Structure 1
Amino acid sequence: MTETREELATKVDIADWLSLRAHLERGGVVVVDPLLELAEVGAALAVDDVQKVQRWLSSALLTKPSGEQIQKWDAEKGKIFNCLIISPYVLIQEPAL
């Protein structure tokens, strides 16, 4: 999994909310808590590490965007996220300030 994580770390990109919003319609957007590394989450999904992903879901470290978040992001023109595509999911994370 370390190789996968290192490889995925090079694929983390930046995208604006408007570009990411299209993925929202098909339910593919997953919000990753800043406590987690995008590459680590991506690697866990890629190798189907169910226990780890389940733990993050139950701790609300991985969530679907809430209606409130979507409204907030829609209102913020040019809102930027770090993102990583692990098909069929698009992992998004607000950049650290």
Structure 2
Amino acid sequence: MPDLKAELTASLDEAEWQWLLPHVGRDSLIVVNPELSIVDVGVAIANDNVSLVQNWINQQLIYKPTLNQMEQWQANLNKRFNALIVQPFVLIQELAVTNQTSP
């Protein structure tokens, strides 16, 4: 049996906001706070760890994107995120802007 954490780590990818728009329509996006590991959240959701997931929801560490957030992201369609698909959800985590000088 494959290791779920390793499998999810391997499927973690970067996505631009515009690529995530179809998932907005399905209400399947979940924002993961940078304090958490997106892979650990994916493992908890895949394993149906209700108490852990509910704890994160209660602490607002994972949540549906707000209208304000989506408007900001819509203004920058190239905004990048870590993205992880854990059916039926798409977990996203904002990537920090590190390159201040563009090539």
Give TM class, smaller chain: over 0.9
1:60 corresponds to 2:60: yes
Structure 1 Cα separation of the partners of residues 34 and 4 of structure 2: 20
Structure 1 Cα separation of the partners of residues 6 and 40 of structure 2: 9
Q: CA deviation at 1:60?
A: 0.2
When Rg is computed on C-alpha atoms for both structures, the one with the higher figure is: 2
CA RMSD, Structure 1 to Structure 2 (Å): 0.9
Matching of residues 63-78 of structure 1 within 5 Å: 63-78=63-78
Query: How many positions carry a matched residue from both structures?
Result: 95
Q: Which runs of 4+ in 1 moved over 4 A?
A: none
For the 8 Å contact 1:82–1:95, the answer to whether it is kept is: yes
The unaligned stretches of length 5 or more in structure 2 are 99-103
- The 3-state SS of whatever aligns with 1:36 is coil
The equivalent of 1:43 in structure 2 is 43
Q: CA deviation at 1:95?
A: 1.5
Identity %: 41
Letter in 2 for 1:94: E
Q: CA deviation at 1:5?
A: 1.5
The unaligned stretches of length 5 or more in structure 1 are none
The equivalent of 1:31 in structure 2 is 31
TM-score, length basis structure 1: 0.93
- The 3-state SS of whatever aligns with 1:10 is helix
- The 3-state SS of whatever aligns with 1:31 is strand
